[in-house]
Chains A and B, each alone.
Chain A
Amino acid sequence: MSTRVDVRKTYKLYIGGTFPRSESGRSYEVYAAPSAAAARRGSASRAPKFLANAALGSRKDARDAVVAARKAQPGWAGATAYNRGQVLYRVAEVMESRRAQLVQDVRDSEGLTPVRAEAVVSEAIDRWVWYAGWSDKFPQVLGGLNPVAGPYFDISAPEATGVVAVLAPQRSSLLGLVSVVAPVIVSGNTAVVLTSENRPLPAITLAECLATSDVPGGVVNIVTGRTAEMAPWLASHRDVNAIDLTGAANADGVDWGELEAAAAENLKRVLRPGGTGPEAVEPDFGATPDLARLSTFLETKTVWHPKGR
């Protein structure tokens, strides 16, 4: 019986709602992580399995992504909370329909067993749904009326901070990615995401889910490549409002303190990586989240008006 020659996918960037190659024309080889079983057998020394040539994003790609994110931000923040919630819920629907692909990506990227990969994908989809539901709830939970001592109506409400650069986790390539991207965009921010450097493929599959689920182009922009090459340009970018340094943990050649110092240039809001002291540790994304990530990328606006007859 002859075996069919399959049609392979080209993995590209996701910027402004389209899938360009890197403007640099560069790519890099992505390999499968050895499975836990193979590692136990000591057969990890075999040549790793080639997965794809991913686009090796450049400084220019990162900057183009910021332009796309800035352009999309007012419209996304200006959409009704109900609308954002529905659009994000739709992403989870599409993820569910692409479950097989996501499971395969996660198995390849993280070396998980099929059962474990299924569980991780389920958790990632559920995590996305959890955050999607917050779109029309966090303003009530985090805002409210201030009982000032005078004849004034005074109310505080949270709103999106703007364009957020995200260093996605290096190890948890899908659940971790979802856990850092969803809390950024649900409130109306737009994101420029640097994927896991060595495990970028689930992010590109997620981009395909985003592109087919009514998320406006530019709301999430996904760039694959070397974190150490692109992160400094995002950290110092004057048109980026905040940066999530979670993916600095286990990233080759990345000093999160230097990125935080660069971010001081325009007083970006900084979410530091997990861990204590100078060490950066990737958090356990299996744990139930709270509102901390979502609220880091919010601004509180307080509005006063006199009362009178």
Chain B
Amino acid sequence: MTPFEYAPAPESRAVVDIASSYGLYIGGKFVEATGGAPFKTVNPATEEVLAEVSEASADDVDAAVNAARTAYTRVWSRMSGADRGKYLFRIARILQERAREFAVLETLDNGKPIKEARDVDLPLAAAHFFYHAGWADKLDHASLGPNPRPLGVVGQIVPWNFPLLMLAWKIAPALACGNTVVLKPAETTPLTALLFASVCEQAELPPGVVNIVTGAGATGQAIVDHPGIDKLAFTGSTAVGKMIARSIAGTRKKATLELGGKAANIIFDDAPIDQAVEGIVNGIFFNQGHVCCAGSRILVQESIADELDSRLKRRLATLRVGDPMDKNTDVGAINSRKQLDRIEEMVAVGEAEGAQRWDSGCELPTNGFWFRPTVFSGVSQTHRIAQEEIFGPVVSVLTFRTPAEAVAKANNTPYGLSAGVWTEKGSRILWMADQLRAGVVWANTFNKFDPTSPFGGYKESGYGREGGRHGLEAYVTTGGPTRAGQRSGATEGSAK
């Protein structure tokens, strides 16, 4: 096959204006951090330093929580749901208006292809605010229980794979339900969260309703441990999720945890094979595989394993890996040196354990962090690459003979976030969906998201749901006295 030649189609970065350094956004203004060591955020595609960012200390987190508490008691919890909703509608509209600016900044800071930031992250982030805006004055009708009321101040810690989108998943429902937030973006991707502060300002959101503190693990721990936090929402690794669950044990802090995954993407012999190949590619190479629900294990029925293998590899050879700012790029840069090291380590483990490694052999840029789309075949259940999350563009292929075997293999990990099923047989889809222990099952599709659709895991993929009516449950308390603004005093037991 002759390779396509594409002319370069670079997106312009003139639309963004990155400051040389950023403070913390607390109480409606940027303030300097007290004490913490500033750190640099780089463009992973070029290793160019984009800006210097503050590290919030425990004192800074305290200031942010206090600002959030003040805004909660004096303003936000007293405001009508209709008015809260109007602020969220404003935010949704401003994100739509400034979508290009945010998309370019996201791509620069994260390394994801501009076409994904532009067509997925930004539209979905705006949609999350728009969807939750409408809930703000309808919580009494959401079947959440009697007298739904806000919890108070929510601490939110988001990962680097979808920085702005995860911010939207966290902030939109929290604010809609009347809570105020202290949010920490990931240390490698803080810029869109800091730019979001200017959206809050343009929307004239009352000061202190949204506070953004930057930093790494220590800053996150300070949020988790702060006694003024009523609820935590975390998206990230299962290991950190367990640390958070331990940290809040014995307290009345609530938590929702959206953690790792090792999704099986199951291909039956009657599957529409070309669509399945596209689904596999989307499932594991979307966002460089930096997706907690990525379809990182292909389970293919034995009779079509060879055919699928050759079709998949032929398709992967056409993936364009490179400059994330190029509108034709399919696979961008790995987010950080640290993550690249992790991927390389796991790939070495896969080879050492005897699986066969194949990659597309494409050219990679000289600067930045890159990894070729990689397929492991001959993988067995016990291989670490079949059990552990790699969080990169690496997929393991396993085979099965019967639907029961596919189910057993799919469920045989500590995770339970998502799964995919490809078959033309409707009854089998429904049976498989019943059997799979996963929070999201995509049948004849993969990696679809929507603000109305609850997302979250079984088992060690975490607890709680984000999105839809279900996502509201994490941000309200029910029963008891009805007076708005009162802190919840659970007398009946409450789930975290």
Write the residues of chain A forming the contact surface with B, with a CB cutoff of 8 angstroms: 141-142, 144, 146-150, 152, 154, 156, 161, 241, 244-246, 255-258, 260-261, 263-267, 269-278, 281, 283-284, 287, 290-293, 295-296, 299-306
B453 touches A274 (CB 8 A): no
Interface SS, A side: mixed
From the candidates B145, B246, B249, B448, name the one contacting A290 in the complex (CB within 8 A): B145
Inter-subunit contact B145/A271 (CB<8 Å):
no
The chain B residue with its CB closest to the CB of A256 is B250
Distance, CA A301 to CA B145, complexed state (A): 21
B495 close to A271 (CB less than 8 A)? yes
The one of A147, A150, A270 that contacts B495, using a Cβ cutoff of 8 Å: A270
- B142 to chain A minimum Cβ distance, whole angstroms, is 11
| CB-defined contacts of A290 to chain B, threshold 8 Å | 145-146, 478-479
Cα distance, A277 to B238, chains bound together (Å): 27
Complexed CA–CA distance, A281 and B492 (Å): 8
Contact with A along B244-282 (1 / 0, CB 8 A): 011001111000010100000000000000000000000
Query: Could you tell me the dominant secondary structure of chain B's interface residues?
Result: loop
| Minimum distance in angstroms from A83 CB to a CB of chain B | 16
Contact B250 A261 (CB under 8 A): yes
A304 near B438: Cβ-Cβ < 8 Å: no
Q: Does B340 contact A (CB under 8 A)?
A: no
- Please name all residues of chain B whose beta carbon is closer than 8 Å to the beta carbon of A302 when the two chains form the complex: 439-441, 453-455
Q: List 13 A-B pairs, Cβ < 8 Å.
A: A148-B453, A149-B450, A260-B250, A261-B246, A267-B245, A267-B459, A274-B490, A276-B489, A277-B252, A290-B478, A293-B493, A304-B440, A304-B443
Q: Which residues of A contact B445 (CB under 8 A)?
A: 152, 304-306
* Cβ–Cβ < 8 Å partners of A149 in chain B: 127, 450, 452
- Complex-state Cα separation, A52 to B439, whole angstroms: 47
In the assembly, what is the distance between CA of A142 and CA of B493, in Å? Answer: 20
How close is B473's CB to chain A, nearest CB, in angstroms? 8
Hey, which chain A residues are within 8 Å of B146, CB to CB? Answer: 290
Is B242 at the interface (CB under 8 A from chain A)? yes
Which among B245, B444, B473 has the greatest number of chain A C-beta atoms within 10 A? B245
Separation in Å of the A46 CB from the closest CB of chain B?
35
**A256-B250, A274-B492, A301-B441 given; 14 more Cβ-contact pairs under 8 Å:** A148-B452, A149-B450, A150-B450, A261-B249, A265-B242, A266-B459, A266-B460, A267-B259, A272-B496, A278-B251, A283-B493, A292-B494, A302-B453, A305-B444
B438 and A148: CB pair below 8 A?
Answer: no
B221–chain A nearest beta-carbon distance, Å: 15
Q: Are B460 and A267 in contact (CB under 8 A)?
A: yes
> Bound state CA distance, A76 and B238, in angstroms?
29
Which chain B positions have C-beta within 8 A of A147?
A: 452
Question: B490, A260: Cβ atoms under 8 Å?
Answer: no
- A258-B249 contact, Cβ under 8 Å, with A241-B459, A283-B493: yes
Interface residues of B in 137-157 (CB under 8 A from A): 143, 145-146
Contact of B491 with A281 in the complex, beta carbons under 8 Å: yes
Nearest CB of chain A from residue B392's CB, rounded to whole Å: 24
The residue of chain B having its C-beta at the shortest distance from the C-beta of A245 within the complex is B493
Task: Count B interface residues, CB 8 Å.
Answer: 53
A255 touches B450 (CB 8 A): no
B429 within 8 A of A: yes
B30 contacts A by Cβ under 8 Å: no
Q: How long is the Cα–Cα vector from A255 to B469 in the complex, in angstroms?
A: 34
A292/B478 in contact, CB under 8 A:
yes
B241 at the interface (CB under 8 A from A): yes
A contact residues around B249 at 8 Å (CB) = 257-258, 260-261, 263-264
Please pick, from A246, A264, A305, the residue contacting B246 in the complex, using a CB distance under 8 A. Answer: A264
Tell me, in angstroms, the Cα distance from A73 to B433 when the chains sit together: 17
User: Once the chains are docked, how many angstroms separate the CA of A165 from the CA of B384?
Assistant: 31
Task: Tell which of A284, A287, A303 touches B443, judged by Cβ atoms closer than 8 Å.
Answer: A303
Q: Which residues of A contact B433 (CB under 8 A)?
A: 301, 303
B38 within 8 A of A: no
Check if B458 is an interface residue, CB within 8 A of chain A.
Answer: yes
Question: B429 near A274 (CB under 8 angstroms)?
Answer: no
Residue of A nearest to B430 (CB): A303
- Residues B454 and A300 in contact, CB atoms below 8 Å apart: yes
- Knowing A266-B460, A271-B495, A274-B492 are in contact, say whether A300-B465 is a contact too (CB < 8 A): yes
Bound Cα distance from A23 to B465, whole angstroms:
41
Instruction: Provide the bound-state CA to CA distance between A246 and B492, in Å.
Output: 9
Of A146, A292, A301, which contacts B452 at CB under 8 A? A146
A265 — nearest CB in chain B belongs to which residue? B242
B36 at the interface (CB under 8 A from A): no
Residue of B nearest to A289 (CB): B492
| Min C-beta distance of B141 to chain A, whole Å | 13
A266 adjacent to B414 (CB under 8 Å): yes
Q: Quick one: closest A residue to B442, CB to CB?
A: A304
A141–B143 touching, CB < 8 Å: yes
Kindly state the separation between the CA atoms of A276 and B145 in the bound complex, as whole angstroms: 20
Report the bound CA distance from A276 to B477 in whole Å. Answer: 14
Contact present for B250 and A257 (CB under 8 Å): yes
Question: Does B206 interact with chain A (Cβ within 8 Å)?
Answer: no
List the A side residues contacting B470 at CB < 8 Å.
156, 300
- 9 closest Cβ contacts across the A-B interface? A257-B250, A264-B245, A260-B249, A261-B249, A148-B450, A296-B495, A146-B453, A264-B246, A146-B452
Query: Closest CB of chain A to B104's CB: distance in Å?
Result: 24
Nearest A residue to B452, CB-CB: A146
Residues of chain A with a CB closer than 8 A to B241's CB: 267
How far apart are B126's CB and chain A's nearest CB, in angstroms? 11
CB distance from A79 to the nearest CB of B (A): 13
Q: Does B463 contact A (CB under 8 A)?
A: yes
CB distance from A176 to the nearest CB of B (A): 12
The CA-CA distance from A154 to B445 in the complex, in Å, is 11
B283 interface residue per 8 A CB criterion = no
**B residues less than 8 Å from A257 (CB atoms):** 249-251
B462 interfacial contact with A, CB 8 Å: yes
| CB-defined contacts of A141 to chain B, threshold 8 Å | 143
Interchain CA distance A146-B493 in the complex, whole Å: 30
Q: Which of B279-315 contact A (CB under 8 A)?
A: none
